[in-house]
Amino acid sequence: MAVPAPAVGEGPGRPKLPAVAAGVNSETGTSGEEAPLAQAAVRRAILRRIKLPCGFVTLHRDGAPIAVVLGVVEAGWLGIFSMATSPAWRRRGAARTILRTLATWAQTHGAADAYLQVMQHNKPAQALYARAGFQTAYAYHYRVRAT
């Protein structure tokens, strides 16, 4: 299923860019990511094991991927994972576009709420998610056994 995306970069003080293609591919899980073939095959195998509805959004500009995200829908919730934007396209609306596209797709699969995790030091991502209506529910950390 493909969901049309709005133009990237629109807004005050940002250059207006031509519309770009973004869509949800719920069958192949391809992101256009350049990875060694063996590594890409392993990733595809892992993603194909997800039994729940999942969508992969890739935003392209001039034939190259500039932003990607994975979403999984379960029990009315959209889990947002592995969101990434090419450094050259940050702060230009690409992440907002794929997040909106993924949310639209998730609604068609019964999701009414969404969640995600973001690193505490990633202030730009936290700002994006706050503008999208997300709030911090809790903090977490990893423990490592002393050697």
Residue pLDDT, tens place only, 90-115: 999 999 999 999 999 999 999 999 99
Angle at 94 between CA 93 and CA 100, to 5 degrees: 90
What pTM did the predictor assign?
Answer: 0.70
Of 137 and 4, the structure prediction assigns the larger pLDDT to: 137
- pLDDT of 40 reads 75
- Going by C-alpha positions, the residue among 96, 42, 38, 98 that lies closest to residue 65 is 98
- pLDDT of 41 reads 81
Model confidence at 7: pLDDT above 60: no
6: which DSSP letter? P
Model confidence at 122: pLDDT above 50: yes
- Going by C-alpha positions, the residue among 81, 96, 79, 129 that lies closest to residue 22 is 96
Annotate 20-72 with three-state secondary structure: CEEEEECCCCCCCCCCCHHHHHHHHHHHHCCCCCEEEEEEEECCEEEEEEEEE
Q: Out of 3.40.630.30, 2.20.25.160, 3.40.190.100, 3.40.1190.20, which CATH number does the structure's domain 21-117 have?
A: 3.40.630.30
Of 14 and 139, the structure prediction assigns the larger pLDDT to: 139
Q: What is the pLDDT of residues 42-71, one digit of tens each?
A: 877 877 888 889 999 999 999 899 999 999
- For the chain, the average pLDDT equals 78
Between CA 31 and CA 92 the distance in angstroms is 20
